[in-house]
Amino acid sequence: MTQVFGHNYIGGQRSAAGTVILHSIDASTGEALPQAFYQATAQEVEAAAKAAAAAYPAYRALSAQRRAQFLEAVADELDALDDEFIALVCRETALPPARIQGERKRTSGQMRLFAEVLRRGDFYGARIDRALPERQPLPRPDLRQYHRSAWGPVAVIGASNVSLAFSTAGGDTAAALAAGCPVVFKAHSGHMATAERVADAIIRAAEASGMPAGVFNMIFGAGVGEALVKHPAIQAVGFTGSLKGGRALCDMAAARPQPIPVFAEMSSINPVIVLPQALQARAETVARDLTASVVQGCGQFCTNPGLVIGIRSPQFAAFTEQVARLIGDQPAQTMLNAGTLSSYGKGLQKLLAHPGIEHLAGDPQAGNQARPQLFKAQASLLVDGDEVLQEEVFGPTTVFVEVADQAQLVAALNGLRGQLTATLIGEPADFAQFGELTGLLEQKVGRILINGYPTGVEVCDAMVHGGPFPATSDARGTSVGTLAIERFLRPVCFQNYPDNLLPDALKNANPLRIQRLVDGRPSRDGL
């Protein structure tokens, strides 16, 4: 049995100076697990931020190759975690072992993909404009630009719902470490033991690969995230969680003497638009696949489809009934923790209490499991931007909306706030008829899917897991995929620098053999 100590990690050392004791909960039984976790004191939060700041100059000075080796060492350590670890995660989250094994693979794969990005070198965005000494009326100096970490430590505040891939060694941590920023991770109270085992793995990897102490730090506790975000050493924040929590962090960060960016992934209802010809051709399949996406993982995904829109027709009415039957047949599932279950209950109450919303399927919420539910809302609620439809109800439920016609569909989509995803279910004839939808959705969402379902977020170069507010606090970024590294980079320009003083990425000979923009043309050659 690998021991869990419940200590904070500061500068590579364990620390347990506090007196506030927290306990992790068995998500299925609701019982407290025996291990005590020590909430970080104000001094420990400060020490963690300072340890990260102290590690920063040494860490940022390492070559991309060295950082890649570190990330790969983390990946190897994650993959080496034993069955006892998987059982522990399952206990804290009530998720099945297969899901956790898959998520672990995704998490280590994510680390390896960022290592690949570091070796590939496109993240440098290297640009060279050579001197034009003869230019009139003034010569042009030699100017060279690349992207690098110049932020300092990043605070990462983990999600409740994805205890590995969006948590301790998750996407934000991976992107920040890849960029060259040390991390202070604030563990979620929902899976503290998991967090400790993963932090152990990161620390082992850091030591084995000769990283500076303080490259990764972790603190436990309620409210410690606030102190962290306000600490002057912290230079950026990654967050996955609720709109309320994310917005509070953004406000705090903006009010600092030195404001810092917050990359918060917050709230999305992920509309699915079911077009007429698709219903003619394959209503049953769509109903089955959509229902599966709604209840997958007990609906606890950022990209869970919370809104389904169709155009009034006998086919859409039949389809609605079909989905109602399927949702009604879905079993209750255990949620991640009591807080999530309670939020789900409150979200359902709001829908049930709204005069413009009808309950179509699902047993009344009761007991300690979430019961899948289906609702139907009047289209006017969407067109008029009614709050209740814009709010994410985190759990296995979705709301159907029947619009009168194509014009009302467009009006309803225009009424939506920013989203992580939007999905079109249609046949070629639908896309010909509804050609304006892509351009419209491009203004609203980070990812548009055709004939797929938004749950399942691939980690790759082309993924965008982001979108306009309130989906995220900064639509220019993504928190999944390799582009996520850009959130923690900034451009630096060198003017008239002698070749030997330039970073390798910008040297004449192009020793890293990376792609560069030289005098406006892409090149992998030396100068």
Considering only residues 14, 140, 244, 312, which one is a binding residue for a copy of itself as defined by CB under 8 A?
140
Q: Which is nearer to a copy of itself, 32 or 432 (CB)?
A: 432
Considering only residues 6, 11, 18, 152, which one is a binding residue for a copy of itself as defined by CB under 8 A?
152
Q: Is 384 in the site for a copy of itself (CB under 8 A)?
A: no
Q: Which is nearer to a copy of itself, 30 or 491 (CB)?
A: 491
Q: Is 5 in the site for a copy of itself (CB under 8 A)?
A: no
- Residue with the two structure tokens 């929590």: 245
The identity of residue 193, as a single letter, is A
**Beta carbons within 8 Å of 452's beta carbon, 6+ residues apart:** 423
Q: Which is nearer to a copy of itself, 237 or 341 (CB)?
A: 237
Q: What's the token pair of residue 64?
A: 């991309």
Range 45-74, binding a copy of itself (CB under 8 A): 57, 60-61
**Beta carbons within 8 Å of 498's beta carbon, 6+ residues apart:** none
Minimum distance between the CB of residue 439 and a copy of itself, rounded to whole angstroms? 6
On the question of a cis peptide bond just before residue 137, with omega within 30 degrees of 0, the verdict is yes
427 catalytic per annotation? no
Minimum distance between the CB of residue 357 and a copy of itself, rounded to whole angstroms? 23
Range 99-138, binding a copy of itself (CB under 8 A): 102, 116, 120, 122, 127-129, 137-138
Range 157-216, binding a copy of itself (CB under 8 A): none
Q: Which residues pair with 450 in a beta bridge?
A: 424
DSSP type of residue 145: E
Q: Are residues 481 and 464 in contact, defined by beta-carbon separation less than 8 angstroms?
A: yes
Q: Which is nearer to a copy of itself, 15 or 455 (CB)?
A: 455
From 44, 36, 35, 37, select the one nearest 17 (Cα to Cα). Answer: 44
> Which of these is catalytic: 72, 265, 392, 402?
265
Considering only residues 39, 267, 473, 510, which one is a binding residue for a copy of itself as defined by CB under 8 A?
473
Q: Are residues 225 and 157 in contact, defined by beta-carbon separation less than 8 angstroms?
A: yes
Q: Is 390 in the site for a copy of itself (CB under 8 A)?
A: no
**From CA 292, how far away is CA 408, in angstroms rounded?**
28
265 catalytic per annotation? yes
Q: Is 385 in the site for a copy of itself (CB under 8 A)?
A: no
**Beta carbons within 8 Å of 223's beta carbon, 6+ residues apart:** none
Q: Is 367 in the site for a copy of itself (CB under 8 A)?
A: no
**From CA 168, how far away is CA 182, in angstroms rounded?**
13
Q: Which is nearer to a copy of itself, 192 or 425 (CB)?
A: 425
Range 392-431, binding a copy of itself (CB under 8 A): 417, 428, 431
- Residue with the two structure tokens 């950022």: 302
Stretch that binds a copy of itself, among 25-33, 200-208, 323-331, 432-440 (CB under 8 A): 432-440
Determine how many CB atoms are found less than 10 A away from the CB of residue 131.
13
Q: Is 261 in the site for a copy of itself (CB under 8 A)?
A: yes
Q: Are residues 311 and 403 in contact, defined by beta-carbon separation less than 8 angstroms?
A: yes
Range 235-254, binding a copy of itself (CB under 8 A): 250-251, 254
**From CA 379, how far away is CA 395, in angstroms rounded?**
22
On the question of a cis peptide bond just before residue 454, with omega within 30 degrees of 0, the verdict is no
Q: What character string, x for contact with a copy of itself (CB under 8 A) and - otherwise, covers 438-457?
A: xxx-xx-xxxxxxxx---x-
Minimum distance between the CB of residue 127 and a copy of itself, rounded to whole angstroms? 4
Catalytic residue ranges: 265, 302
